Structure 1
């Protein structure tokens, strides 16, 4: 599994007041195994990456469908990263709907952010909107 580091802007109340945005560096990979799930949110940049991640059995897969221009997506992003650090039995991914429109269309994504939860390759729930408490409850429900 190849790893690379990417730096993403993190939107906080402090960064909104500053001219210099805060950033965080996350360890990224195309997919993570259920036995050795790495912490963080991983970008899926191709249909092949999505299919490979979906094929991993034994852990909950949480996919954040977002857009770079989406304000609510930016607001909830730090909470999703925090959840990825707390829920060690779940794998967290992001898909930019403008980069992979076919995957978004296949799953019927019509609003951002939309979080789709998969268990053993099957869709078990989706959460539409930047609703942190609802997302966290859904993850707790399906994360064994």
Structure 2
């Protein structure tokens, strides 16, 4: 399951464990391609929490993290950014990246 988060819920939703945040917008073509991949991974990767944040509606958090291009995925562990992936990436490539952050 992918959780929809906002500026107001960001800190609480990303405070513990490994969390992948998909920064996206409804008008973004590559974001529309990335979304089903994130949904699949969320259903398969049990030790990782997946979240989505609409940058149009949540500019404060996107600005704080310097999100300049979308889609951007931030990988966080216990509230700290440990990796960033910019642009569309196929499932196999994201699985390789996420393997570094799973037990």
> What TM-score comes out, normalization by structure 1 length?
0.68
CA–CA distance in structure 1, aligned partners of residues 52 and 41 of structure 2: 13
Please say if residues 127 and 134 of structure 1, whose CA atoms lie closer than 8 Å, have aligned partners that are also in contact.
no
Which position in structure 1 is the counterpart of 2:93? 134
In terms of mean alpha carbon deviation, does 111-120 or 125-134 score higher? 125-134
Which position in structure 1 is the counterpart of 2:2? 41
Larger RCO (CA within 8 A; separation ≥ 6) = 2
CA–CA distance in structure 2, aligned partners of residues 54 and 91 of structure 1: 9
**Which runs of no fewer than 5 residues in structure 1 stay unpaired?**
1-39
SS at match of 2:14: helix
SS at match of 1:99: coil
CA–CA distance in structure 2, aligned partners of residues 98 and 82 of structure 1: 24
Which position in structure 2 is the counterpart of 1:54? 14
SS at match of 1:51: helix
What RMSD over aligned residues (CA atoms) do the two structures have, in Å? 1.0
Structure 1 residue runs of 4 or more that deviate by more than 3 Å after TM superposition: none
**Which runs of no fewer than 5 residues in structure 2 stay unpaired?**
none
SS at match of 1:69: coil
Decide which structure has the larger Cα Rg and report it: 1
| Count of matched residue pairs | 102
Which position in structure 2 is the counterpart of 1:120? 78
